[in-house]
Amino acid sequence: MKFAPENFDPAEESDFSVPSRPKETQAASSHRVNPPQRIPEAPFRQLLGILYRRMGLVLGVAALGTCLAGAIGFLIPPKYTAKAQIVVEPQAGQVNGQTAPAPLADEPAIDTQVTMLTSHDNIQRAVDSLAKDPVSSDPSSRKTNADPDAASDPSGKSATSSADSTSKPPAAAGKHLAPPTLDDFERYLRVSQERTSRVIGVSYTSTDPATAAAIANRVVQLFVDGQREQKREVTTRELTRLDERIAQLKKEVEEAGAAVQRIVQQRQTPGQNNPAEEREADARLRELEREGAARDQLYTNLVRRQKELSYQQEIVHSDVRILSLASPPERPSSPSPLLFIFPAFVLFSMGGCLLAVAAERLDRGLRSEQEAVEALGLPCLGLVSQLSRTARIRPHKYLLRHPFSAYTEAIRSVVAGLHLTTPHEGSKIILTSSSVPSEGKTTLAVSLAVYIAQIRRRVLLVDLDFRHPTVQRALRTRAKRGIVDLLLHDLPPADVIQRVPHLGLDYLPMTRCPVDPVTLFAGDQLSRLLHQLRESYDCVIVDGPPLLGVTESRLLATMADKVLFVVKWGSTRRETAQNAVNVLRSSGCLDENRVQPSTVLTQVDLKEHARYRYGDVGEHFVKYEKYYSNSVGYWRPKLSLPKPGVAVAAEEEARKAKAPEA
């Protein structure tokens, strides 16, 4: 049977009514919406938009990387580099028996000295020397300055003592440090030519300045001493060879003298030589005299050379000499930790930009009405802003307190899109559903019901989410019986439907009951109930279960006039939403325009949404925030709240009839 609301005057309808669409147009409309062609945006503008939206990620990565780089820079101990210098001495030549001016040392000679300094044998000698006589960290050694004049003494005594004063501080002055290894020398020892001069720089890097200076001095001193010792060994070998040669020549001279003496004695003996033998003896004598003179000359030269080498052995001149010893540096050679901050900020900012672009490309959420239309092929009725957690529990309270807020405006837009502001359109059963739980369908259903009640429409809110009924908690009501009892026991609707007076709506609750929901929906009981409610109310809002993973959602979709498919902004993946829409299509409810589906983006972060610059209503909610005032004040319309629903009205009449009898 059909009911009419008591004392309802169509002339008193709300100012929110909009012209209705012709039914022919509605029947001919297709559910697959072709989205408008999007104007392609320049790649550079796209990149700027991504960085603008992900500015928090970029700055977070940059700040974290900069702090890490600065912390590492301050934790790493500073390093000090000390340098000692040696000079390659050119060798003087002999011209006509006299010492010629020394020419400049050629490049190969300098390269040879550099190679010898960095050779394995030289480094090994330094390692062995430091192992036997380790250096110590001595603050007083920082004031030691080497004397270049003393270091250049050919004897090397002053240089050695000066080097020892730097590299061998008193044991009591500081603690001994671990001697460096071969790997340490290969890593921290540097030998190079000073520009184009004959000077070679030997530097060593250490965390202690005195240690760096001592090791550099030890290396150059060992090298110079090694060069001097090597020359001394060469001179000694040459002297030994000369001694042997002189002894041999002396013996040969003596033998030649004895031969001459024998020939002279033979000539002085009369009657023993004939003329031929005398001539032969004379020739032999002259030959021996020439050989003796040559041997005498060679012997004299060798003796003179022996004297020279003996003198050189006492004073050995090395090919290199120490120009200056290293002194402990006052400032570290390693870069300041502050210098790491700016490069680290730049590098990590670039890394943050790459992460921002990657996050944007991997984002599969729906964030605008156009994206929803393109992905799902369904019209989008609006963007519903996100409420706080406390307001989300009772959304109707926020709706009434803030009638001109962005949230209320979004609900108003959805109601207008559903054409619920015109009573002549006829009653409609609207199902709110989503892909998965926690997308805001219950909050949207309660808000729609409350708003429709405020514009003087008879509205019933039905909770049909068997697994997680939350409408009762939002309305702060308690129910002992619900729609399951109504269907199982054929109870009158008035016995189950509750009136919410302060909101002006009726509510059909859901109570938890161990019943298979498919058994309730498979028959025609629910269909007949919804048909009866359609005749009794201007609008029936059904809070249904999610579409994915829940079987009864397909059956409910076939009984509704319209389906509001709720998509959580930026969270629901487009593939998930597309699969949910395919569930609607597979149920057959979309065939021949039986059901009119639409989408709504819920829990929209308006400030974050404005960063995308879609140019839609969500951006303008933020841009013109003052226009959409959030001033607190209950909504008190001039018109009275709508009359109760038929089921509740019948129950009230029955109670009034029983009152006189009592």
Cβ atoms of residues 556 and 464 within 8 Å: yes
Domain of 584, CATH number, reads: 3.40.50.300
- pLDDT over 80 at 426, yes or no: no
Q: Choose the weakest-confidence range: 61-65, 118-122, 437-441, 594-598.
A: 594-598
In a domain, 337, yes or no: no
527 and 424 part of one domain: yes
For residues 37 and 140, what is the distance between their CA atoms, to the nearest angstrom? 81
Q: Give the SS3 label for residue 27.
A: helix
**Residue ranges with strand state E in 339-427:** 380-385
583 in the same domain as 488 = yes
Distance of CA 366 to the CA centre of its chain: 26
**Does residue 393 lie in a domain region?**
yes
Q: In the structure, what pLDDT confidence band is assigned to residue 643 with cuts at 50, 70 and 90?
A: low
pLDDT category, 18, cuts 50, 70, 90? very low
Element (H, E) at 596: strand 596-604
Give Cβ neighbours of residue 11 (< 8 Å, ≥ 6 apart).
none
pLDDT digits (tens, 9 = 90+) for 544-553: 999 998 888 8
Same domain, 498 and 646: yes
Query: Reduced to 3 states, what is the DSSP secondary structure of residue 537?
Result: coil
Tens of pLDDT, residue by residue over 170-192, are 333 445 667 888 888 889 999 99
- Does residue 164 register a pLDDT over 60? no
Indicate whether 499 and 602 sit together in one domain. Answer: yes
- Domain annotation covers residue 261: yes
pLDDT, one tens digit per residue, over 316-338 is 677 888 999 999 999 998 888 88
Domain end position, chosen among 290, 324, 358: 324
* Structural domain count, the chain: 2
Whether 560 and 499 map to the same domain: the answer is yes
Tell whether 399 and 297 lie within a shared domain. no
Are 588 and 652 members of one domain? yes
> Band of the pLDDT at 66, cuts 50, 70, 90?
very high
The answer to whether residue 597 sits within a structural domain is yes
Q: What is the pLDDT of residue 646?
A: 52
Locate tokens 């930790």: which residue?
Answer: 337
279 residue type, one letter:
R
End-to-end CA, the chain: 30
Pair of tokens at residue 9: 């005057």
Judge whether 352 lies within some domain.
no
Do 320 and 371 lie in one domain? The reply is: no
Please report whether residue 58 resides in a domain: no
More confident residue, 642 or 353: 353
Q: How far is CA 508 from CA 89, 493, 619, in A?
A: 108, 9, 37
Q: What is the CA radius of gyration of the chain?
A: 54
Determine the structural domain holding residue 224 and report its residue range.
80-94+104-324
73-120 pLDDT tens trace? 888 899 999 999 999 887 655 444 444 554 555 788 888 889 988 898
Residue 19 located in a structural domain: no
Same domain, 297 and 409: no
Q: What's the CA gap between 554 and 444, in Å, rounded?
A: 20
DSSP 135: -
Q: Which structure tokens are listed for 600? A: 């709504």
Which residues lie below 8 Å from residue 299, measured CB to CB, with a gap of 6+? 246, 249, 250, 253
Q: Which amino acid is at 454?
A: Q
Q: What is the pLDDT of residue 360?
A: 85
Q: Are 90 and 104 in contact (CB under 8 A)?
A: yes
Q: Is-above-0.95 flag for pTM? A: no
Q: Are residues 390 and 495 in the same domain?
A: yes
201 and 272 share one domain: yes
Res 647 pLDDT > 50: yes
Say if 588 falls within a structural domain.
Answer: yes
Count of H helices and E strands in the chain?
A: 26, 14
Asked whether residue 513 falls in the same domain as residue 611, the answer is: yes
